[in-house]
Amino acid sequence: MTASISSENIFKMCPCAGDKTYGESPLELINYYESLPKNRYGDLLRIMAIPYLYHATEAINDSATDAIEAYSKAVTDLLSYVKTTDVSGLKSILELAQGSDEFEQLEEQVETHTGQHYGNLFKGFSDHSYFNEAKELLKTRLERNGIEIENLKNKTVLDQGCGGGRYTVAWSLLGAKECTGVDLSDIGLEDATKRVEAAKIKNVSFVKSTVLNLPFEDDTFDIVYSNGVLHHTTDWKLGIAEQIRVLKPGGFGWQYLIENPGGIQWDSIEILRVITRNVNKNFARTVMKLLGIPANRIFFMLDHVMVPINDRLTPMEIENELILNGAKNIKRLERGADFDGIEKIYNKIPFAEQKFGVGENRFIFTK
Ligand SMILES: C[S@@+](CC[C@H](N)C(=O)[O-])C[C@H]1O[C@@H](n2cnc3c(N)ncnc32)[C@H](O)[C@@H]1O
């Protein structure tokens, strides 16, 4: 049995339910899901809200209509949909998913819990997503922002919070000399090691450690890259201090942290975080697989929805912290890959701010 949630905690986890950006619809939706039984039927309905809201949000993001109006309607539509679901049709999915929720032994410790969550998601990546997509994303984000790293073939890279190591490998494929990935996730590191060995990549290695106390001397690496990690830790500020500590003077830092405000994209994630907060993650992954959703989409959808800590930060908060720790030449990137919010803001798509807030916080700097 799971405890119900107070309105105060709903508003803390999901400010848009309290500030009425979308009227009453988010709170009504959350309250309806709260009233559903806390069993596998109830959880199946909660999981089905994830692709529903993701697809709705993406459709709005691709349209030219007022995003706030359209999103309020999408939330109301989801409520009608869930109220009228014919649960008898869900029996076969439940039968096929049977057993998937019995093996989850999530550790109490937040880091281990987060590591297991991501390790399991990364494991599902195809070789194409793992090797090609990550390299292309990194390359595009560097090129579109005019970032040229001179003499990359002589540079050492640390990937702070590498997960399954896709970007550690991407740096190697782009030509870096030696690339080290650090993460706490046993599942992620095991998968990373297997993939690198199978691909016979020699200049990539992995170390198990917290990113909040890196096992390296000061001034060790030419590049310290951190992509979407510190907002899931207990102390993102300490993570920035560690990043800069191990960076060589003159070295290049990259820090990506999620944004506040974040538009309907992040409001949607926060609604889903409340609704699915007690749902078994293995069960969620299995159900989404049974629904025919590809692994990289499952990763994309469950990434922030099911992770214990998901702190969103304003550009100013991050910049201040970088300055405080001695970073120089700080620049917030204005461009990204095609699907990045920041790229859509750059291209001035209609209602970009309603959709993406300030866009991804990707900072580069030197030490
Ligand atoms: C969203 S994933 C990002 C992984 C990778 N940077 C990428 O972009 O593919 C977040 C990663 O942070 C790791 N993580 C979270 N807290 C950590 C900590 N305190 N120390 C080390 N790794 C941590 C998780 O295990 C997970 O692999």
Least confident of 99-108, 160-169, 293-302, 310-319: 99-108
pLDDT at 154: 98
Give the tens place of pLDDT for each residue, 2-51. 567 899 999 999 999 999 999 999 999 999 999 999 988 999 999 999 99
Q: Which one is predicted more confidently, 283 or 154?
A: 154
Q: Is the CB of 181 under 6 A from ligand 1?
A: no
In the chain, CATH 3.40.50.150 sits at 113-261+312-366
Q: What is the mean pLDDT of residues 70-99?
A: 90
Mean pLDDT in residue range 345-365: 97
Residue nearest to atom 25 of ligand 1 (CA): 115
Q: What is the mean pLDDT of the chain?
A: 93
Ligand 1 probe mutation, 123, 137, 232, most atoms within 8 A of CB: 232
* Residue 360 CB partners (closer than 8 Å, separation 6+): 256, 258, 259, 333, 336, 340, 341, 342
Tell me the three state secondary structure of residue 150. Answer: coil
Rounded distance between C-alpha atoms, residue 174 and residue 127, angstroms: 17
pLDDT at 104: 55
Residue 165 CB–ligand 1 contact under 6 Å? no
What pLDDT, on a 0 to 100 scale, did the predictor assign at position 101? 63
**Residue 114, pLDDT score:** 81
pLDDT of residue 105: 54
Name the one residue in this structure whose structure tokens are 């866009």.
359
- At 164-184, the pLDDT tens digits run 999 999 999 999 999 999 999
- List pLDDT tens digits, range 115-131: 877 787 788 888 888 89
Please state the rounded mean pLDDT for residues 285-311. 89
| Shortest-distance Cα residue to atom 27 of ligand 1 | 163
Give Cα separations from 21 to 24, 67, 158, 317, 329 (angstroms). 9, 11, 40, 23, 36
Span from the CA of 160 to the centroid of ligand 1 (angstroms): 8
169, 203 Cβ separation under 8 angstroms? no
Q: How far is the CA of 226 from the centre of ligand 1 (A)?
A: 9
Residue 162 CA, ligand 1 centroid: distance in Å: 6
Question: Ligand 1 centroid to 21 CA: how many Å?
Answer: 31
158 lines ligand 1 (CB under 6 A): no
pLDDT in tens, 263-282: 999 999 999 999 999 998 88
Residue 103 has pLDDT above 70, yes or no: no
- Banded model confidence at residue 108, pLDDT cuts 50, 70, 90: low
> What percent of the chain has pLDDT above 70?
96
Atom of ligand 1 nearest to the CA of 185: 25
* Contacts of residue 215, Cβ cutoff 8 Å, sequence gap at least 6: 182, 207, 209
pLDDT recorded at residue 94? 85
**Rounded mean pLDDT, 273-302:** 90
Lowest mean pLDDT among 27-31, 72-76, 291-295: 291-295
For residue 3, what pLDDT is reported? 60
pLDDT over 90 percentage in the chain: 80
The arrangement of strands across the sheet holding 178-183 comes to 204-208, 178-183, 156-160, 221-227, 247-257, 361-366, 328-332
SS3 of residue 169 by DSSP: helix
Identify the CATH number of the domain defined by range 113-261+312-366. Answer: 3.40.50.150
**pTM given for the model:** 0.91
Give residue 239's pLDDT band: very low, low, confident or very high (50, 70, 90): very high
227 in ligand 1 pocket by Cβ < 6 Å?
Answer: yes
Provide the pLDDT confidence category of residue 1 given band limits of 50, 70 and 90. very low
pLDDT tens, position by position, 136-153 = 999 999 999 999 999 999
pLDDT band at 237 (very low <50, low <70, confident <90, very high): very high
Q: Characterize 297-326 residue by residue with b for buried, 16 or more Cβ atoms within 10 angstroms of its Cβ, and e for exposed.
A: ebbebbbbbbbeebebbeeeebbebbeebe
What pLDDT, in 10s, does the model give residues 179-214? 999 999 999 999 999 999 999 999 999 999 999 999
Residue 106 has pLDDT above 60, yes or no: no
Q: Other C-beta atoms within 10 Å of 99: how many?
A: 10
